[in-house]
Structure 1
């Protein structure tokens, strides 16, 4: 009997995380990542697109977040610099996700100066936590992946590389582990020679609790886990 051959080679993948840092969530994600290695056998490197200082109260966040936003307890580099420092010390890369996690369709963010302020403000909190702009890659991912012309122009003008990716669904209300696994498999079972860049949210309990299990299963299925690189 001829052995069954897969329809295509399992797709390699990289990891990125949005909306942290948040205690007990980002820590758990970093703990899980510490068990894994990249393609060179060294500790796995992921990308963390962190928020400079998201409002700590629901009503305060309404002026920045999307009108449909439910997950208002987001991260803050200002309040939790120790988590930024830990991510950097463990070899991960951090990227700019604006100061307040702004929804680019608010009228104010059609203005270049308003977007520049969000990007520069993030840098101040990142530098205070140990990010070095002279040597670190300058990576930008717009909240909600809303890379509007103004967002893109401002980030590019300030020397950032725009980073996209494919969301795994961990921020979708009601999604549990099974739904996330199904979404990831849809992404990784799409034939493509380029590694997929998966977007998780390190502030979400389902990700903090189950990331290690997900990665174990994906590697067991033959998917190649690689270092974050853009």
Structure 2
């Protein structure tokens, strides 16, 4: 699938980008601890001395349309890990990456064709620890220019967008649960149309929503 943000319906700008940037910076500058996939499972004890691998994900907020949207991906159903799940563009930090921000920008280029110099980085959310042993840093950035979407074959099945207002509404989030490694694990979800956004992605988005409400 090859398309542009305009083909996704993001064509007019009637909001004030400067106000959004100011609100995001104020939210991201707030002090606070990180999060984890186990936030809703207080009885679970994370192993002491565990080593987490650094990773960066991009939270790309498009402001070229009538309303701001967050761009997300649907992982390929053929992948070994997390097939078919909704995710931010991003991945582990490689040896050649300067930092987790560089890793997020590189992965976004590889996964969806987003030029590395296009996102305007606003700031970072606190790190999020995943069940797979990563310390993920969400990099919040604005997109003010269109680009040609190029989902990476074999890794990304679909690129889509969700209105930022939906993701910043705490009432959009629902706590659900399932059995995982013999225990009942609870987690956040933030459904949107046919898309079931859950787990680490939903938790990080909810963290942003909570900060924007303060």
Q: Which TM-score applies when normalising by structure 2?
A: 0.30
More helix by share: 1
Higher Cα Rg: structure 1 or 2? 1
Q: Which TM-score applies when normalising by structure 1?
A: 0.28
Higher relative contact order (CA 8 A, sep 6+): 1
